[in-house]
């Protein structure tokens, strides 16, 4: 099997249906779906359990484990050569987009992560750490859609357990691999991203607390890089 597509779900059943319809329409046959439900209450759990797809694995969490942990768990079950993290609110209406994301790996053995050009890719620390798009500076690949060789992700890890629930996992992931001497790359793609469709269903106070906690962990861990934009030798 070539590709394992991991999607972490929390409600928003209509978006999930649309996302999966495009995957079945545009991705050929050589992929599996790793569908992790974070305790949805809107019928999502029932939908993915009974989804008539032979190429699926379903994980039903009994509590909302958050973004990073859901994908880390799915990685352990992945059977594909490449592991794809995908949001259910990101829609790629382009034929064979998996092949397009995977193609650069064949030409560059030091390539660790590919993602979508047009998503945030630069870390800005004033007044807070947040991602912005930049035409030439690519510091990280946003996790709304990213691809990694599965063996590499298993060897060196996917999302850090230091970061809880959500926020900063993708920037940390890219910086970790870049620090090890690997490269990242953004690929031109036709996509539409609605953004924050799951987080907007959660308590804002809870999310704000998680953001600040992860921000502090991330800032401390990467403080030298954030000041110099270079890695320690």
- Is pLDDT larger for residue 72 or for residue 165? 72
Quickly state the pLDDT bin for 11 (edges 50, 70, 90): very high
**CA separation for the pair 88, 91 (Å, rounded):** 8
d(CA 70, CA 197): 17
- pLDDT at position 22 over 80: yes
Burial of 98 (0-12, 13-18, 19+ CB in 10 A): buried
Q: How high is the mean pLDDT of the chain?
A: 92
CA angle, 141 then 147 then 152, to 5°: 105
Q: What would the pLDDT profile of 192-212 be if each residue is shown by its tens digit?
A: 988 655 555 557 887 889 988
Cβ partners under 8 Å of residue 113, min gap 6: 141, 146, 147, 148, 173, 174, 177, 182, 184, 185
Question: Which pLDDT belongs to residue 208?
Answer: 85
Report if residue 52 sits inside a domain.
Answer: yes
Rounded CA-CA distance 94/91 in Å is: 9
Number of domains into which the chain is organized: 1
Q: Residue 182 is encoded by which pair of tokens?
A: 């690997």
| CATH number for position 20 | 3.90.550.10
Pick the range with the lowest mean pLDDT from 59-63, 92-96, 128-132.
128-132
Is residue 38 pLDDT above 80, yes or no? yes
Helical ranges in 39-146 per DSSP H = 44-50, 67-77, 97-107
Kindly state whether residue 180 falls inside one of the protein's structural domains. Answer: yes
Question: pLDDT > 90: what percent of the chain?
Answer: 77
Range of the domain at 66: 3-228
Does 89 reside within a domain? yes
On whether residue 233 sits in a domain, the answer given is no
Would the pLDDT of 4 be above 60?
yes
Do the domain assignments include residue 135? yes
Q: Could you tell me if residue 86 is inside a domain? A: yes
Mean pLDDT of 1-24: 95
Q: Is residue 206 part of a domain?
A: yes
What per-residue confidence (pLDDT) applies to 199? Answer: 58
Q: Is the pTM of this model over 0.85?
A: yes
């Amino acid at each position: 099997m070539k590709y394992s597509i991991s999607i972490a779900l929390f409600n928003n059943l209509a978006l999930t249906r649309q996302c999966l319809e495009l995957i079945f329409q545009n991705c050929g046959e050589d992929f599996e779906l790793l569908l992790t439900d974070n305790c949805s209450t809107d019928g999502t759990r029932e939908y993915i359990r009974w989804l008539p797809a032979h190429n699926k694995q379903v994980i039903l969490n009994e509590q909302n484990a958050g973004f990073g942990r859901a994908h880390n768990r799915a990685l352990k079950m992945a059977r594909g050569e490449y592991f794809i993290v995908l949001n259910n609110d990101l829609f790629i209406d382009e034929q064979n987009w998996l092949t397009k994301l995977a193609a650069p790996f064949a030409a560059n053995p030091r390539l660790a992560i590919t993602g979508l050009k047009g998503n945030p890719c630069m870390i800005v620390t004033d007044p807070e750490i947040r991602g912005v798009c930049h035409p030439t500076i690519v510091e990280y690949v946003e996790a709304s859609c990213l691809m990694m060789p599965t063996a590499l992700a298993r060897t060196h890890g996917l999302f850090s357990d230091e970061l809880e629930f959500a926020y900063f996992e993708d920037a940390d992931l890219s910086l970790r691999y870049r620090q090890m001497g690997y490269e990242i790359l953004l690929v031109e793609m036709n996509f539409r991203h609605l953004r924050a469709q799951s987080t907007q269903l959660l308590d804002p106070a809870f999310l704000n607390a998680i953001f600040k906690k992860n921000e502090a962990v991330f800032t401390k861990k990467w403080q030298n890089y954030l000041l110099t934009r270079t890695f320690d030798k």
